Chains A and B, each alone.
Chain A
């Protein structure tokens, strides 16, 4: 079955830039979506269609795509950005939803 691969953890100091990657063979042909989840809360979409930002999401969140890897960047990380981040895409048939394993962002 199709998989999306994320690093388990990323750590940065406040004010730095955090980059979280997500790799998958179908990503050149399928959009990626990113979700932020804080403890005890539901996920929130922070990036859609690789690089678009939903209304209400701070500008410090951005997304990019290159080949089989998509990247979520958080510029000028703040303490409130500490959370789990999940990428999501579709398989090559555009039918099935796939989530990455998640990355825990720690703000040092």
Chain B
């Protein structure tokens, strides 16, 4: 059974940093693109970033470029999102999802809540 489990969400002050993790199981992690998708309270889904199977390519939504870094450790079956210079508008549930732009996202984690507030 494919499972994705996120962790690392927390309350952080504006300007602070946070690292999210996503542990994958039940599939060959190194065979798949992976994405982070977020959802602000009461809002829709927003793609944040994705990473190629071997980590050689990464892409970001404009609003997080230069502040967030996506990475992947295939040996540990894990996906990460390093978030720096956090802003109030980054407050959201962050989902880890298996997939990419041209293949869709077939499995999702349950999400982890990031709250940016003083």
Residues of A within 8 A of B (CB): 1, 30-31, 33, 35, 37, 41-45, 48-49, 54, 84, 86, 88-91, 94-102
CB <8 Å contact, A95 and B108? no
CB <8 Å contact, B44 and A101? yes
- Chain B residues whose C-beta falls within 8 Å of the C-beta of A49 in the assembled complex: 104
CB <8 Å contact, B106 and A45? yes
Give the contacting residue for B105; candidates A45, A98, A101; CB below 8 A. Answer: A45
Give the contacting residue for A91; candidates B44, B45, B101, B109; CB below 8 A. Answer: B101
CB <8 Å contact, A90 and B101? yes
Question: Which chain A residue shows the least CB distance to B50?
Answer: A97
Known: A35-B45, A43-B45. A97 touches B100 (CB 8 A): yes
Query: Taking the complex as formed, is B111 at the interface, i.e. its CB lies under 8 A from any CB of chain A?
Result: yes
CB <8 Å contact, A86 and B110? no
CB <8 Å contact, B45 and A99? yes
CB <8 Å contact, A95 and B111? no
Query: Taking the complex as formed, is B75 at the interface, i.e. its CB lies under 8 A from any CB of chain A?
Result: no
Classify the secondary structure of B's interface with A.
strand
* Min C-beta distance of B55 to chain A, whole Å: 16
CB <8 Å contact, A42 and B108? yes
CB <8 Å contact, A86 and B45? yes
* Min C-beta distance of A59 to chain B, whole Å: 19
Question: Which chain B residue shows the least CB distance to A41?
Answer: B110
- Chain B residues whose C-beta falls within 8 Å of the C-beta of A89 in the assembled complex: 101
Q: Quick one: CB contact mask for B33-48 with A, threshold 8 Å, 1 for yes?
A: 0010100000011110
Determine the distance from Cα of A43 to Cα of B97 in the docked complex, in whole angstroms. 10
Question: Which chain B residue shows the least CB distance to A98?
Answer: B47
Query: Taking the complex as formed, is B80 at the interface, i.e. its CB lies under 8 A from any CB of chain A?
Result: no
> Which 4 pairs across A and B sit closest by C-beta, in order of nearness?
A33-B104, A90-B101, A97-B47, A102-B44
Known: A1-B62, A97-B100. A86 touches B111 (CB 8 A): no
CB <8 Å contact, B50 and A48? no
Most buried by B among A94, A96, A97, A98: A97
Known: A95-B59, A97-B50. A31 touches B102 (CB 8 A): yes
